Amino acid sequence: MDRWALVSGLQGDLDLYEQIQKELKQQRGVANLFVLGDLIGSQHNCNALLERLRQPHRADVQPECIYGWWEEQLLAECGYRGERKADGLREEQGEAAVGDLLAAVDADHLNWLASLQFGFIELDCALIHGSSADVSDRLTEDTSALVLLDRLTRLDVNRLFTARCQRQFRLELFSGSIQSHVKDHAGEHQSEQAIPKRSVIGIGGGRQYTLYDPATDHIEFRIAEDPSHASGRGFG
Amino acid sequence: MNHAVISCLHANLAAVEAVLNDIDSQGIKTITCLGDLVGYGPQPNEVVELMRQREIPTCQGCWDEDIIDGLNACECSYPSQLAERRGHRAHHWTAAQLTEENKAFLAELPMTLRRDKLLFVHGSPNSQHEYLLPDMNAYSALERVETAGAETLFCGHTHQPYVRELRQGSIRVKVQQRDQDIPTEHELELPMRRIVNAGSVGEPRHGSSKATYVIHDDSTGEVTIREVDYDVVKTCEAIVDAGLPVVFAWRLSHGFEYAERAEDASHVCER
Ligand SMILES: [Zn+2]
Ligand SMILES: [Zn+2]
């Protein structure tokens, strides 16, 4: 079975994307590239990357994109989310960052960004930017296992791949149980529930990306080489 | 100290009065209401005004929210599309009946109320529209209580009263980080937590037409599910007189919603 590459947090960096594409071609059997959001950001002009993602080169591993926290901020600011605005970005980085973000993405990409899905379900895996609860949900290896289990249960999947925290880890919930005692008008009953084996995988962000083999469940955390010619691509 | 928790009054004045009498007759002074003052029933203004007059702390229910914000709630709140259409009729009728003052009161209701380690919500701490059913995944149920920082969570919205205790929970975890050869393991021991569903005063669906609510003794933790007789026929007649869907009267007199569940089980969320 073909391996998956999981990437996030490119934030408009086409050089980095080309570097990752180059590395994927050197790997054997990587046929699916999932870009788990944050295609855009406020630091780079994002248009060249967006054009490349929308119209991939023939030799590219074909990308499939979902939206992330940065897309959510931009779409909210541009009126795609009802009354909400880019509140998260404003709070975290101030008004100037909102202006930078608006300047970094041409308006003719907005409809395409708005058409991106919240996540993919592939086999028994959910691929999501944050979590099933929210695109801004930051799951890490330190998040309570109770919360992680809830996020898995909401989607009824065995594995949840998340990108929002920009960390690379694999956390496995592998045993445990809980007693439930219910009393209602009909009487009382007791039951026990066991933990099914489930995992949450942080795929990293930016130069960090992850390869996954669904046939063997093998995960490989990778770091892309620094694209040496990365500078000079900003606002000109 | 004993305190009473009521929910889902649903504009059924006779039921609300009977339950308040039952509470008063036991000398219970503290009452908390988990919302859904209106919807389905024929006396929305009377019920809201009674709660205002008695100054009963109340959180906002799904109906209270929708009457203010319009029907922006997830349609999945309804078990079927037919139920949804009837619900919409009741919504428009209620919205037209309610005075501006009573609407303003519903709009101001808080999402949650908290007293020490007791948390009061309508549906769940996440949303007025989430159903915490007694057979919900036990870990997810515990997560709702624990994430909200409560020991006992009082909720309504399902119209079926129950007390659920989640105990002796544990999760074993293995973590592999990028630069680590050997994964680390640890075990999370989970605290005991409780969910108390207060049922419904004005629209019971637990298989009996009696109004339900709960009494909680906050020193012993004991919970009593109370069932109260009231003049069901009076409310049913008022439903029919008001021109509300007759099925609401039927449901009220039977105390369950089997008929609606059977109609269209395949209804899926449109949002
Ligand atoms: Zn209700
Ligand atoms: Zn409700």
- Rounded Cα distance between B117 and B101, Å, is 33
Domain residue extents for chain B: 2-264
Q: What is the pLDDT of residues A119-138, one digit of tens each?
A: 999 999 999 999 988 999 99
Domain A3-232 has CATH 3.30.930.10: no
Q: Which CATH architecture is the domain B2-264 placed in?
A: 4-Layer Sandwich (3.60)
Spacing, Cα B160 to ligand 1 middle (Å): 10
Structure tokens at A21: 């594409």
| Best mutation target, A139, A159, A183, to test chain B (most B CBs within 10 A) | A183
Share of chain A above pLDDT 90, in %: 87
The 8-class DSSP code of residue B128 comes to T
Q: Are B141 and A180 inside 8 Å of each other by CB?
A: yes
Query: B-side interface with A, Cβ within 8 Å?
Result: 134-135, 137-143, 146-147, 160-178, 183, 187-188, 190, 206-208, 212, 223, 225, 227
What band does A233 get if pLDDT is binned at 50, 70 and 90? very low
Q: Using an 8 Å CB-CB cutoff, list chain B residues near A149.
A: 139-140, 143, 171
Q: Are A185 and B225 inside 8 Å of each other by CB?
A: yes
Q: What is the pLDDT of residues A38-58, one digit of tens each?
A: 999 999 999 999 999 999 999
Q: Are A171 and B142 inside 8 Å of each other by CB?
A: no
Share of chain A above pLDDT 70, in %: 96
Nearest to A180 among B166, B208, B212 (CB): B166
Q: Which bound ligand lies closest to the C-alpha atom of B127?
A: 2
Q: Are B162 and A182 inside 8 Å of each other by CB?
A: yes
Spacing, Cα B200 to ligand 1 middle (Å): 7
Domain residue extents for chain A: 3-232
Listed range (A100-109, A141-150, A223-232) with the worst mean pLDDT: A223-232
Q: What is the pLDDT along chain B (271 residues), one digit of tens a residue?
A: 999 999 999 999 999 999 999 999 999 999 999 999 999 999 999 999 999 999 999 999 999 988 887 655 444 445 455 666 777 888 889 999 999 999 999 999 999 999 999 999 999 999 999 999 999 999 999 999 999 999 999 999 999 999 999 999 999 999 998 888 889 999 999 999 999 999 999 999 988 999 999 999 999 999 999 999 999 999 999 999 999 988 889 889 888 764 444 333 333 333 3
- Rounded Cα distance between A128 and A119, Å, is 5
Does the structure show a pLDDT above 50 at A197?
yes
| Residue carrying structure tokens 């008695």 | B54
Q: Are B170 and A154 inside 8 Å of each other by CB?
A: no
Does the structure show a pLDDT above 50 at A98?
yes
What band does A232 get if pLDDT is binned at 50, 70 and 90? very low
Q: Are B171 and A173 inside 8 Å of each other by CB?
A: yes
Structure tokens at B180: 């680590």
What is the pLDDT at residue B70? 66
Q: Are B176 and A171 inside 8 Å of each other by CB?
A: yes
Q: For the whole model, what pTM was predicted?
A: 0.87
Smallest CA–CA separation between B242 and chain A, in Å? 32
How far apart are the two ends of chain B, measured CA to CA in Å? 44
Concatenated DSSP letters of B26-66: TT--EEEE-S--SSSSS-HHHHHHHHHHHT--B---HHHHH
Contact yes or no for B203/B12 (Cβ under 8 A) = yes
Nearest to A146 among B142, B165, B206 (CB): B142
Q: How much is the average pLDDT of A165-174?
A: 96
What band does A7 get if pLDDT is binned at 50, 70 and 90? very high
Smallest CA–CA separation between A57 and chain B, in Å? 31
| Best mutation target, B130, B136, B160, B173, to test chain A (most A CBs within 10 A) | B173
Q: How much is the average pLDDT of A139-146?
A: 95
- Rounded Cα distance between B77 and B68, Å, is 17
Q: What is the ipTM of this complex?
A: 0.89
Q: How much is the average pLDDT of A100-107?
A: 97
- Rounded Cα distance between A69 and A129, Å, is 7
Identify the closest residue of chain B to A169 by CA–CA distance: B177
| Best mutation target, A178, A191, A200, A218, to test chain B (most B CBs within 10 A) | A178
What band does A230 get if pLDDT is binned at 50, 70 and 90? very low
Q: In what order do the strands lie in the sheet with A125-128?
A: A119-122, A125-128, A159-162, A198-203, A168-175, B170-177, B184-189
